Amino acid sequence: MSQFGDAIDFILHSREARSGGTNVGGAELLPMLWKHLELTGVSVGIAVALAVPFGLWLGHIGRGEFLATSVANVGRAVPSLALIAFFVAYIGVGFRNVTLALVLLAIPPILTNTYVGVRQVDRDAVDAARGMGMTGPQIVRRVELPLALPLVFGGVRTSVVNVIATAAIAPLAGVVTLGDPIIAGGVYGEDGRLGAAILVALLAVAAEALFAVLQRAVTPRGIRISQTPQARSHRGFGIPRLRRQTST
């Protein structure tokens, strides 16, 4: 168990690297943390910018169910390591290439959830909006998007956690994230490896919790009120509340 103590010591205090010369651990981990966050933020940001409008459009016109589900299925089947390796071998190392790979990884959950989110919006509400004279874009913006937001955020949340996990292998492609002590254990030692693993795990859990709060915040009040006690009892830690509704 003392290994965990040493790992926490590595997180808190910097020391000389095993290979000598440079210092590692403690404050030296901060640039890695920023790089990790930057990579995650940029990748998920691009994925959201691409997948949310596309998913909204597909859901609005009610087509592309096959596309939305197959993207999800294929996206799950591709191992993140293989994806990164493919980019390294065929396109090369560097921040931009890793970002591209992570964008590809982040798109499927966001696209599928946005699509499903729009499709599960009550058709009566859409008809009512149309009856009030709203145009297509207005319906998307003022009815379908707000009602789909909780599920959209659910997708973003999945992507963020996935990307944080995968960014840990980014050092293989020359981007020094928190995964560097994990991958290059020889330089940082076992303490560094375990310490970085703890940090990556904490980061993922923190992101998950943050997005759980955000997801709750963006849920329209109407949906929140219509939650039955039975449905509420299913609302666990990581479960968007709408899942129960979409299942009926």
Partner 1 sequence: MLAQLEIHQRAGNDSCVASNGFCPSWIAHNIDRYLHPFWQHVYLSVIAVVLGFVIAFALAVLAHNRHWLVGPIIGVTGVLYTLPSIAVFFLLQPITGRGAFTALIALTAYTLLILFRNIVTGFDNVPAETVDAARGLGFTDRQVLWRVEVPLAMPEIIAGLRIASTTTVGLATLAFFAGAGGLGGEIFADITFKSNVVVAGALCLLLAIMFDVVLLTAQRIALPWQRAQTAAGPRPRRLWREARVMD
User: Does 19 help bind partner 1 (rule: CB under 8 A)?
Assistant: no
Q: Which of 201, 210, 217, 218 binds partner 1 (CB under 8 A)?
A: 201
User: Does 113 help bind partner 1 (rule: CB under 8 A)?
Assistant: yes
167-to-45, 91, 220 alpha-carbon distances in Å = 15, 18, 33
| Cβ at position 49, least distance to partner 1 in Å | 20
Question: By C-beta, is 133 or 233 nearer to partner 1?
Answer: 233
Single-letter amino acid, residue 218: V
Applying the rule CB under 8 A, the residues between 88 and 107 that interact with partner 1 are 88-90
Closest CA to 42 of 114, 97, 115: 97
Q: Which of 69, 94, 134, 176 binds partner 1 (CB under 8 A)?
A: 69
Distance CA 48, CA 43 (A): 9
Q: Which stretch binds partner 1 (CB under 8 A): 17-25, 31-39, 126-134, 167-175?
A: 167-175
For 60, the enclosing helix (H) or strand (E) is helix 29-61
Residue at token pair 């965990």 = 4
Asked whether 121 and 144 are in contact (CB, 8 A), the reply is yes
User: Does 210 help bind partner 1 (rule: CB under 8 A)?
Assistant: no
Closest CA to 192 of 20, 22, 21, 29: 29
For 212, how many CA atoms within 13 A lie in the half-sphere containing its CB? 13
Can you give the binding site for partner 1, defined by CB under 8 A? Answer: 1, 3-4, 65-66, 68-69, 72-73, 76-83, 85-86, 88-90, 109, 112-113, 115-116, 119, 154-155, 157-158, 161, 164-165, 168-169, 172, 179, 182, 184, 186, 193-194, 197-198, 200-201, 204-205, 208, 233-240, 243, 246-247
